[in-house]
Every structure is written in C-alpha cells, then in structure tokens.
Amino acid sequence: MKIKLFPFLAHWPLEASVSGDVITINGEDIDLSGILDGFRLPGSAVDNKFFVETEYVERIGKTLQFTLRLPVHWDSPEEYRNPAGPIIVDARSGLVKLPNTSPVVVPVTELPYIREGKENGGLEQA
C-alpha cells in the first residue's frame, strides 16, 4: 500500500497496520480487497474519518493507493504541518510507520537563584 498523508489539525490518535489488502486503523479493519486493478472509489465510500473524502482509493497493479489524514497539532514539527512535498508511506505488512507529530518540546533553561546579601551590592549568587 502507498499511503499519502494529509496534515490535519486534530487531537486524534492514529495507529495503523497492514495485512494483505486490509488496513487496520485504531482497531477497525478496513478490507480494500474488492478494489480491482485499474478501479477506484472515493475516500468517502470507505466511511472512516481518516480517509480523505475528496481523494480516491485505487489499485494500480497490485498496489493500493489512498490518502489518510495525519493528525497534527499547532505546535507539531513544521515538516509535518506544512510539508514541502507529499508525505508518502510505503506499507507492506505489519505496523505502518507513521511520522511522530508530537509537539516540539523546547528545552527550558533554568536561571540561577539570586538572594539578597550585604556584599556585592546586596546581591549574590546562591
């Protein structure tokens, strides 16, 4: 399966795995084996919120191709919120390796504690 990922601002969890022509999304099995070579159907026909309704689910040769929503946060890494090009995952069997869209954690620098004292203008470092 070739899965194109469409960034979508949402707080949904997304886990997916593939076995043959079945993709399991958050525990829901979606059997796409009925799509024959050269045929396609709109994503809305799949009836799953992760499938992009305006994109097609199609089979080209033996490969199923479709677009899924990739949940991102407002502070997810820029390369996933606004990718320069399409993010495409080639999923063959097992767990689908999705990008980590967790918010970026900025390290916090601790400032030294300063206490009042008589020396050095009344301030000294602890």
pLDDT of residue 13: 94
pLDDT at 8 over 90: yes
% of the chain residues with pLDDT over 90: 78
The first and second tokens of residue 61, run together, are: 């040769």
Predicted local confidence at residue 126, as pLDDT: 60
pLDDT digit string (tens) for 46-100?
Answer: 999 999 999 999 999 999 999 999 999 999 999 999 999 999 999 999 999 999 9
CA atoms of 7 and 89, how far apart (whole Å): 13
The pLDDT value given to residue 21: 96
Report which of 102, 3, 1 is spatially closest to residue 51, judged by C-alpha positions: 3
Q: What is the CA radius of gyration of the chain?
A: 23
> How far is Cα of residue 84 from the mean position of the Cα atoms in its chain?
15
Q: Nearest-CA neighbor of 65 among 4, 21, 7? A: 4
DSSP string, 8-69: EE------EEEETTEEEETTEEEE-TT--TT-EEEGGGG--TTB-TTSEEEEETTEEEEEEE
Tell me, what's the pLDDT at 6? 96
Confidence (pLDDT) at 110: 81
Question: What pLDDT is attached to residue 112?
Answer: 79
Q: Which residues contact 124 (CB under 8 A, 6 or more apart)?
A: 114, 115, 117
